[in-house]
Chain A
Amino acid sequence: MPLDKPYEDIPGTTIFDADMASKGFHLNQFCMSLMKAENRESFKADQRAYLDQWPMTEAQKEAVLARDYNAMMALGGNIYFLAKIFSSDGLSFQYAASTMTGVSEEEYRAMMLAGGRSPEGNLYTKEGS
C-alpha cells in the first residue's frame, strides 16, 4: 500500500520526505561540501568543474548554476542544504526566499514587515491561490 501523503495538496510547498531525499542525495551532499572554505573557493573558481565531481543529474547541475531554488527542490534538494549555496554566494535567506516566490527582495521584505504571507487562500491547492 502506498504511503499516504496528505501534504501533497499544500500549495507552493515541497515536503522533503524520504522519496525526495533519495532523489536529491548527491545534490544535497554537494551542498554540504560548501561548508569548507577551501571547497567554496574551488566552487567559485569553476562552478561547472566542481559540480562535475559529483554524481548529480545534468538537470540538478543546471539548476544549481542557474540558482533556481524551486527547480533544485523539485529535484530533491532541501532548503537547509541549499542554504549552503546562497550562503557561499554571500546572500541572505530572505533574498533566497524572495527568488522562490517570484517577487523582488524589497517586495518580499515589505510583505514580511506587514505580517507575512496570510494563510488565507494558501492552505489548499483547491483554493486556487
Chain B
Amino acid sequence: MASISAGVFTSHVPAIGAAMDNGVTGDDYWRPVFAGYEYSRQWMKDNLPDVIILVYNDHASAFDANFVPTFAIATGETFQPADEGWGPRPVPAVQGHPALASHLAQSVIQDDFDLTVVNSLDVDHGLTVPLSLLFGQPEEWPCKVIPLAVNVVLYPPPSGARCYALGQALQRAVASFDEDLDVQIWGTGGMSHQLQGPRAGLINSEFDNNFLDRLVSEPGDLAKVPHIDYVRLAGSEGIELVMWLVARGAMNQQVEQRHRFYHVPASNTAVGHLILENS
C-alpha cells in the first residue's frame, strides 16, 4: 500500500529560482536563504520518496483568465517548465505519476472534492522553485511529482478549512492505492508578502511565526482562520499560505518537526520552511 511519510513546506519565490539559475546563491544577499535549506537537501537524500504530491499555485501561466480551476490535479506523464515572460527556467521536465494521480482524482471526487483533471500542464516557478530548493540542480528530478494546483490568484481562494479537508481526503486516497509507494506531500507559497499597490513589501513576521507554530501543533484550528486575516495581516499574496493546509491535512495529527527555517527577505517575500514527518 502507498502511504504519506512526510511533508515539506516552503515558499516558492521566483527570485530564488533565478538566483540558482544565474549562479549567485553564494552572494551576501542569497547566502542566508540557501543556508536554511542545507539540512533539507541532506534530509531529501536520506528520505527520497517515490512520488511527491506538490501543492502549488499557478501564477497565470498554465491557467489564464479564461479558466480558473479552484483545485486541479495533473494526471499527465510529463510537465514542461513554463515560459513566464523571460523564457522557461533551465530545469528538467517534471515526470508525473499518471496511475496514482488518476487514482487520487477518482477517490477524492467521490469523497466530495470536485477536482479539475488536467493532462497537459506547463509548470511555473510555483512548482519548480521548491524542487530546486530541495534537490539543487540535477540533470533529472530524482522522483515523480504530481502537481496539485490551487487557485489563489482570483479571490476568493478555497477556505483554509476546505484546503485542510482536501488534504485529509488525499491522505485516505493515497492509503487506498495498491502499489507500495513512499509518498510525500509538499505545501508551497507564502509566507507574508504583498506584491502590489502602495502597500507592496508588507511583511508580518509575527503572523508568519505564529502560523508555523500552529501548523505543527494545532492545524485544525489554524484552518479556521478566515481569508480576510491572511490578506489584511499577511499581505494580498500571503493568502497563498492556505496551500500549506492542504499538505498538513494529508499528514497525521501528530508529527515530528525535523526542520524549521524563517528568513526575511527574498525579493518581496518572507521565506518559511518546515519539514515534518508523520509520527
Task: Please give, as numbers and ranges, the residues of chain B lying within 8 Å of A13 by CB-CB distance.
Answer: 194, 196-197, 199, 231, 236
Task: Please give, as numbers and ranges, the residues of chain B lying within 8 Å of A35 by CB-CB distance.
Answer: 61, 82-85
Least CB separation from A120: chain B residue? B204
Known A116-B270, A119-B202; judge A83-B156 contact (CB<8 A): no
- What CA separation (Å) do A34 and B85 show in the bound complex? 6
Least CB separation from A99: chain B residue? B200
Pair A15/B84 contact, Cβ less than 8 Å: no
Task: Please give, as numbers and ranges, the residues of chain B lying within 8 Å of A32 by CB-CB distance.
Answer: 60, 64-65
Q: Does A42 contact B (CB under 8 A)?
A: no
**From residue A61, how far is it (CB to closest CB) to chain B in Å?**
17
- Tell me the residues in window 92-114 of chain A with beta carbons closer than 8 Å to chain B beta carbons: 92-94, 97-98, 100-102, 108, 111-113
A: interface residue count bin: 35 or more
Known A28-B60, A80-B59; judge A14-B197 contact (CB<8 A): yes
Q: A12's contact among B83, B197, B268, by CB below 8 Å, is which?
A: B197
Interface of B is mostly: loop
Q: Does A47 contact B (CB under 8 A)?
A: no
Pair B198/A70 contact, Cβ less than 8 Å: yes
Known A36-B83, A97-B201, A117-B203; judge A78-B60 contact (CB<8 A): yes
Q: B60's contact among A31, A102, A118, by CB below 8 Å, is which?
A: A31
- Tell me the residues in window 56-72 of chain B with beta carbons closer than 8 Å to chain A beta carbons: 59-61, 64-66
Least CB separation from A119: chain B residue? B204
Task: Please give, as numbers and ranges, the residues of chain A lying within 8 Å of B155 by CB-CB distance.
Answer: 7, 15-18
Q: A28-B65, A73-B197 are in contact. List 20 more A-B contacts (CB 8 A).
A: A7-B232, A12-B200, A13-B194, A14-B236, A16-B153, A21-B154, A29-B65, A69-B196, A80-B59, A80-B60, A81-B64, A94-B268, A97-B196, A97-B201, A101-B198, A115-B203, A116-B265, A117-B202, A117-B203, A124-B232
List 30 A-B residue pairs with CB atoms under 8 Å apart, sorted by A's residue number.
A6-B228, A7-B232, A10-B236, A11-B198, A12-B197, A12-B198, A13-B197, A14-B196, A28-B64, A32-B65, A34-B85, A37-B83, A78-B65, A79-B196, A80-B59, A80-B153, A81-B64, A81-B65, A85-B85, A87-B85, A97-B200, A97-B201, A100-B196, A101-B200, A117-B194, A117-B200, A117-B201, A117-B202, A117-B203, A119-B202
